[in-house]
Amino acid sequence: MVAGPIRCLLVALLLAPIPAASTAQRAQPTGQEAFDRQDYALAAERWRHEAAEGAPEAALGLGLIHDLGMGVPRDSATALRWYLEAAGAGLSEAQFNVAVMLDAGTGAPRDAAAAATWYARAAANGNERAGYNMGLLYEAGSGVPQNPAMARSWYAAAAPAMSAAAERLSALPAPEVAAPLPAPRPLVGAVTRGSDPPRADLVWSVAAGAGPFTLQIARAPSGGTEPGAPLVVRGETDLSALSLPLPPEAAGRALAWRVGRGTEEIRWSDWVALTPGAATSPADSVLILVNPGDDPGALYAQELAAAMRGAGVEAEVRSAPAPASETRVDYTAAENRPLAEAVAASLPVVTAPAQVQEAPGGIVLHLVGGGAVLPAGKPDAGPQAQPLPASQISTTPRSGAGR
């Protein structure tokens, strides 16, 4: 348990000014203004009103005054409830306070594992003290597997801001880790409420060794069993938690996530639901990239995507500068290889086998060459412009297709 030595720090954090929930002019003082004037009863009243309007800073303030008994009776359980409300909105101070209370068994029974996930989320959102505590937890094996390698990673991240972390890092010998290392185990994936842009807080445990880690978030059909579209967002870290901003196209969609370890050969976890009803296992999906301005290629890409969807494979077309000089198929993991090889074998304009590359969402078809990918029968089509009709694309691996 690491809560005892840092309770004084918790109080210091709680007494720091909390940003006002709104910059609009009000006839009455804001909760923060009342708090700054030490009118704690009025602060509690105003913060309740602001929290009801969805202001996470007000929820943090309510947690503060109930935790310390300022203007209201001291009530740890109520404080924890308000801290959780603010923590769910992504406030790292609130996430840290939740972790401290769960670590100490204050306001709720002690839960070392839950405390570790909240410390990790707070650290992923910029709280250095929480990162230092994650180092302590991995060093001791409290709430997470005992793993000196991950302890070193967390200490190293916190060391620039905390001399204590630098001291622990220098005192901890570099561990000897035997390969192959197991895939990370996802623990918590949560989309913060009310942040702009929305963020996904992702936490995983590491039984042995350290990073680097790669994160993927993909769209998934609601109620389905597989992610059904290419990657929404990707991230990398050496730690065991990461907070990623979500793009506008992710709004309102079912999302799933996974974490992998390594660089050349990534060992992936299973897919885990990030939002309710999302998919929980890997998917067959293809992202088709077409050069901007390549109208014939874009038209054919849409036909290919429609044919793939008809065969039960999710496909999406995007306009993006091609990183290659000729049409090619890339894939990331072994599970993607059969479909990648089938796509490559189905298109005569693909002259090279499917390649193992960093492919967002699993499989990427880079469609290059304008007229070289026109469907048969189009005017000015050259000798390479005779690809199979889109309706004939096969998603079953062919003998000898690729390596």
Could you tell me which of 189, 185, 191, 229 has the C-alpha nearest to residue 204?
185
What is the predicted pLDDT for the residue at 355?
Answer: 62
Which residues, at least 6 apart from 60, have a Cβ–Cβ distance to it below 8 Å?
Answer: 18, 82, 83, 86, 91, 93, 94, 97
Domain boundaries, given as residue ranges, for the chain: 4-126, 185-273, 285-392
Q: Whole-number mean pLDDT of the chain?
A: 78
What is the predicted pLDDT for the residue at 68?
Answer: 93
Query: pLDDT tens digits for 310-355?
Result: 666 767 788 877 666 677 887 766 667 777 777 777 776 665 665 6
pLDDT surpasses 50 at 180: yes
What is the predicted pLDDT for the residue at 311?
Answer: 65
Amino acid at 244: L
CATH fold for the domain made of 285-392? Alpha-Beta Plaits (3.30.70)
Q: Which helix (H) or strand (E) holds 116?
A: helix 112-124
What is the predicted pLDDT for the residue at 386?
Answer: 38
Segment 2-14 shows an average pLDDT of 46
The CATH number of 185-273 is: 2.60.40.10
- CATH class belonging to 4-126: mainly alpha
pLDDT surpasses 90 at 131: yes
The whole-angstrom separation of Cα 325 and Cα 100 is 54
Segment 58-72 shows an average pLDDT of 92
Q: Which residue has the tokens 């680097």?
A: 212
What is the predicted pLDDT for the residue at 332?
Answer: 64
Segment 132-159 shows an average pLDDT of 95
What is the predicted pLDDT for the residue at 402?
Answer: 30
The whole-angstrom separation of Cα 401 and Cα 403 is 7
pLDDT surpasses 60 at 87: yes
Give the residue, 148 or 9, on which the prediction is more confident.
148
- pTM, two decimals, is 0.68
The C-alpha angle with vertex 111 and arms to 205 and 48, in degrees rounded to 5, equals: 110
Give the residue, 401 or 345, on which the prediction is more confident.
345
Query: pLDDT tens digits for 354-371?
Result: 565 655 556 788 777 654
The whole-angstrom separation of Cα 155 and Cα 169 is 6
pLDDT surpasses 60 at 125: yes
